[in-house]
Amino acid sequence: NAGVMQNPRHLVRRRGQEARLRCSPMKGHSHVYWYRQLPEEGLKFMVYLQKENIIDESGMPKERFSAEFPKEGPSILRIQQVVRGDSAAYFCASSPPQKDTQYFGPGTRLTVL
Amino acid sequence: AQRVTQPEKLLSVFKGAPVELKCNYSYSGSPELFWYVQYSRQRLQLLLRHISRESIKGFTADLNKGETSFHLKKPFAQEEDSAMYYCALRVNNNDMRFGAGTRLTVKP
């Protein structure tokens, strides 16, 4: 089992561009979580998804951010019209159906110029 | 408010010395607490959780409901323990609240 995969590991965007972050959960895991880590801060929950469903998006900013977890393929965190304040490390975690321990990916570091 | 506080951003000890990483939480319900560790250039991984009452790599953590704490301890620190440590609180099935993290450096 390769573990949770995230790509790209580093992403540079200019203000106003779109950023797409991908997360492939561990095999057999149907639950995906996205977290953001701003500089000098801890991890903050953003969204929890199951296949084709958003279960809890209470941590997502109301505008410009969206997430999906399609039936086939990775989970995508999409940030439209990025701003400098979006620069952060974005971590994905997955867990099996019984929602036990979360396993984390290596993260994507987004830099907005 | 549900919150996890790790008061020390940086902690430095010598090899063989005891180490304690502090974690305090604020939660009205019955807490479920975890410690995660991130070694250099590696991903975040679970170290231990209070319901297991286990010892991993010599680390233990006891939940103290009176003091609302879940401090991580090890009697004799090793150089390979140098890492970022995060305390986390599960507030419901979906939501984990993480502290800001403590960077532990174990000097030779």
Confidence of residue A99 (pLDDT cuts 50, 70, 90): low
Q: What are the chain B neighbours of A67 within 8 Å (beta carbons)?
A: none
Mean pLDDT of chain A: 91
CA distance A44 to chain B (A): 7
Instruction: Please give the DSSP secondary-structure letter assigned to residue A52.
Output: T
pLDDT of residue B94: 64
Bridge partners of residue A112, in order along the sequence: A13
pLDDT higher than threshold 80 for residue A28: yes
pLDDT of residue B73: 95
CA distance A42 to chain B (A): 4
Cβ atoms of A21 and A106 closer than 8 Å: no
Classify burial at B45, counting beta carbons within 10 Å of its beta carbon; exposed 0-12, middle 13-18, buried 19 or more. middle
Query: First-to-last CA distance in chain A?
Result: 36
Confidence of residue B95 (pLDDT cuts 50, 70, 90): confident
Tell me the Ramachandran region of residue B16: left when phi exceeds 0, alpha when psi lies from -120 to 50, beta otherwise.
Answer: left
Interchain proximity A101–B6, CB inside 8 Å = no
Interchain proximity B97–A105, CB inside 8 Å = no
pLDDT higher than threshold 70 for residue A108: yes
Cis before A8 (ω within 30): yes
Selected residue of A5, A41, A44, A102 to mutate for chain B interface (largest B Cβ count, 10 A): A102
pLDDT higher than threshold 70 for residue A1: no
Each residue's pLDDT tens digit, A55-69: 888 889 989 999 999
B21 vs B77: CA distance, rounded Å: 12
Q: Which of A40, A59, A91 sits opposite B44 (nearest CB)?
A: A91
Each residue's pLDDT tens digit, B13-61: 999 999 999 999 998 888 889 999 988 878 888 899 887 777 789 999 9
Q: What are the chain A neighbours of B46 within 8 Å (beta carbons)?
A: 101-103
Tokens of B14: 């010598």
